[in-house]
Every structure is written in C-alpha cells, then in structure tokens.
Structure 1
Amino acid sequence: MEADIAANAIDLGTNTDFSLLSLFLKADIIVKAVMISLILCSVYSWAVIIEKYRLFKKINKSSEEFEEKFWNSKSAENFYNSLPNNLEDPMSLVFQNAMENLLKKKSKTNLSERMTAFLEGGIEKEMSKIEKGFTFLATVGSTAPFIGLFGTVWGIMNSFQSIAISRNTSLAIVAPGIAEALFATALGLLAAIPAVVAYNKFNTDAKKYLEKLENFSKRFLTII
C-alpha cells in the first residue's frame, strides 16, 4: 500500500506542469486576482517609467537650449515676443507665464514681489505635471510585495487544505499550491523593485530640475 502511494506521488510530481501559464490557470480565484492586479500594476509602472525617462531626457535638453537663447537675447520682452505658441519646455512656460502677467499689469508697484509670485506659481504648476505618476510608482513599490504575500499566504492555506482532504502528506500533493503561492510573491517583487528604483531616480531628477528652474527664476528677477 505504501509503495503504491509513493509510486502515485512520483507520477503526480512527474506529470505536474510547473510552467508560469499553468501555475496561473490552476491557481485559486483569489490568487488569480492577486496575480492579475500585480501584472497590471507592473505594466502601468513600466509605462510610467518609460514616459518619465523620455520626459526628463527631453526637458533637460530643451531647457538648456532655452537658457542659452534667453541669455543671448537683447531683452526679455523681445525674447518673449519671439517665442512660438506651442511651447512644451517647462522653463519656457514658466518664463512665458511670468511675462504675460507682467505685461498685463503695467504698474511698477511691488514689481519684484509680483514677479516672484508669478514665477513661483509657474514653477509649481510645471513641477506638478512633471511629478504626475510619482505617487503611483511609490504606491506600487511599497504595497506590491504585501499584495504578493497575501496571495502566497492564501495559496499555502489551500495547500494545507489539500493535505487535510487527501490525507496525503506527499510533496506531489502540496507542490502545485506552494508553487502558485510563490509565483504570487515573485510577481509582487517583479512589480515593486522597478517601481522603487524608478521612483528614487525620477524623484532625484525632479529635485535637480526644480533647482534649475529656481536658479533661472532668481537670475531672471535680477534683470527685471
């Protein structure tokens, strides 16, 4: 009898498909939901990562070009009048917004204070656009491992239930459930690690760009 059980266990272990697709299809509905949510989070995280990588590469280059043209111009007003309508560079937009408000109000009273307020408002507006998506990356990075862990715990619970129902402690009985559970953990880490790394990098890049905008604003104020 024991020999027959051992033989059956070996056959089960040999015939069990442990491919990723098979693990997903055989998983419990709760574990499947966890896996799908983690996969979606990972996909969207990578979309944000690629978009932000391209954004910082673009605005760093465009801002350098803008500063070079600005400081080589004869006057701020002439440079403002020569700007195209379809501006996308954040530094250009901060300058344009400040000049629009300055030219609308001809009064020279408290000029420095008003220009400071215009520039700070423009910087805040542009940085909110740049930092869009950062919260999602931070959320995925901090919660994805725990979501995966929940799927793991649920899968292991199912494995113990299988042992209780079959009254068989063979590894072949519990291996599929444990494999599904560990797959959920792996997906949690797969979603979290890139999100954390990207958030830290882009957060640093954003701080550097904010410093660049603030430095430009201070220098611009000195010529007003």
Structure 2
Amino acid sequence: MNFAASNFSFISLFFKADLVVKLVIIILIAASIYSWAIIIEKYKLFKRINGSSNFFEDQFWSSKSADSLYKKLEDYNEDPMANVFKAGMEFMIKNKSRASSVQERIQQALSGAIDKEMEIVEKKLTFLATVGSTTPFIGLFGTVWGIMNSFQSIAISKNTSLAIVAPGIAEALFATALGLLAAIPAVVAYNKFTSDSRKYSTRLENFSQSFISII
C-alpha cells in the first residue's frame, strides 16, 4: 500500500509524466504562483489606498484652503487621490492668467490624472483574467494528452488492465486539477479587484467634482 501511495503522489506523477504533460504542469504551477503573488499584492494595495485616501480626504475638508494643503504635500505621494489633487493644483497654478476657460480644462486635467492613477491600480489584473480563462484549457490539453498515453500503453502492451492505464489517467487528472486550481482563485480575485477598482475610480471622480466645485 505504501508503494502504491508513493507511486501516485504528486511528485511521483510529475517525474513519471510525459514531457508534454510535465510542461503543462510547470506552466500551470507557475501561473498559479504568480496569480497568488498578484492577489496578495492587490489586496495590500487596495487596503493601503483606501486608508490613505480616507486620511487625505480628512485633510482636504479640514484644511483652510486648497493652497495650504498643496504646500503641505510632499513631491512624491503614494495616494492616488492626493496625486489627482496635486495634478489639479499644478494645472491651476500654471493657468491662472486664463481663468475664462479654466473650469473645463481643469476637469480634463483631473480626468487625465485619474486615468493615470487607475492604470497603476489596475496593473496586472489582465493577467488574472488571462489565467482564469486559459488555464482550464491548458489543463484539459494535459488531460487529453495523458489519456492518449494511456491508449498507447494499451495498444503496445495489448493489456487493458488498470495497472497499464492508471498512470496515464492519473497524469490526466493531475493536469485537470492544476488547471482548476490556477483558474478558480484567479477568476474570483479578478472579479473582486475589478469591482474594487470601479468603486475607487468612482471615488476619485466624485472627489474631482467636489474639488472643481470648491475652486
């Protein structure tokens, strides 16, 4: 029984697998590991920017003026909302002499700043979508290849016993499981972070409208 258990362990299945199945397994494991790295990174990112934006909004509404808040801000700021505010203030400072059209133009400047910040926030989300949509099919390819190996083993040995076909079937199921293991967390995380991204983008747009109304 111990021999059978070790014979069908994940490590044993990998080393006994066909080269094509090995490549499929490596691709799926690499995709899963990188997906989890992105998931952890994005979780920390949204937690950080929501907290920092709360702090900045408190500063914004409690400041005596936009100029005084702008002077307090550092040149580099990791908070997207603060960066949008800075972009608006810098545009105003450069265009004081052209006040007649400043409202429409500052709105364009703020929209451009929001797009720039959201591009950073949404970076790598496409990879999660790609993993979620492609890894089940990569796993399925490994499954088909493993089953083909099983039929070839039957044809060569002319033996239909389970001992002959079991290794190929096990490889096939292993590839299928890895495909789902990579895809499911990626799809769930992509949907969650896309929703979080939309909410945060709306928050930045609402802030920009408040900023325009004040100035």
- Does the alignment reach a TM-score above 0.5? yes
1:61-84 Cα deviation digits (max 9, x unpaired): 000000010011011111101112
Other-structure match for 1:188: 179
Other-structure match for 1:206: 197
Other-structure match for 1:28: 18
Secondary structure of 2:159's match? Answer: coil
Mapping of residues 42-61 of structure 1, within 5 Å = 42-61=32-51
Instruction: Give 1:93's aligned amino acid.
Output: N
Secondary structure of 1:97's match? Answer: helix
* Partner Cα separation in structure 1 for residue 63 and residue 5 of structure 2: 75
Distance 1:105 1:162, change over 3 A: same
* Partner Cα separation in structure 2 for residue 207 and residue 108 of structure 1: 32
Mapping of residues 153-172 of structure 1, within 5 Å = 153-172=144-163
Distance 1:175 1:87, change over 3 A: same
CA contact (8 A) 2:56 2:82 kept: yes
> Are 1:121 and 2:112 matched, yes or no?
yes
Mapping of residues 50-199 of structure 1, within 5 Å = 50-106=40-96, 107-199=98-190
Other-structure match for 1:3: none
After TM superposition, give the deviation of residue 86 of structure 1 in Å: 2.6
* Partner Cα separation in structure 2 for residue 84 and residue 130 of structure 1: 20
CA contact (8 A) 1:66 1:92 kept: yes
After TM superposition, give the deviation of residue 14 of structure 1 in Å: 4.8
1:8-37 Cα deviation digits (max 9, x unpaired): xxx9x9587000000000000000000000
Q: TM-score under structure 1 normalisation?
A: 0.92
* Partner Cα separation in structure 2 for residue 88 and residue 14 of structure 1: 55
CA contact (8 A) 1:127 1:210 kept: yes
Secondary structure of 1:55's match? Answer: helix
Other-structure match for 1:40: 30
CA contact (8 A) 2:95 2:102 kept: no
CA contact (8 A) 2:6 2:12 kept: no
Number of residue pairs matched? 213
Q: TM-score under structure 2 normalisation?
A: 0.96
Identity over aligned pairs, percent: 65
Moved over 4 A (4+): 13-16
Query: Which consecutive unaligned segments of at least 5 residues does structure 2 have?
Result: none
Structure with the greater alpha carbon radius of gyration = 1
Instruction: Give 2:85's aligned amino acid.
Output: F
CA contact (8 A) 1:16 1:176 kept: no
Alpha-carbon RMSD across the aligned residues, in angstroms, is 1.4
CA contact (8 A) 1:42 1:190 kept: yes
1:41-97 Cα deviation digits (max 9, x unpaired): 000000000000000000000000000100110111111011122310000001111
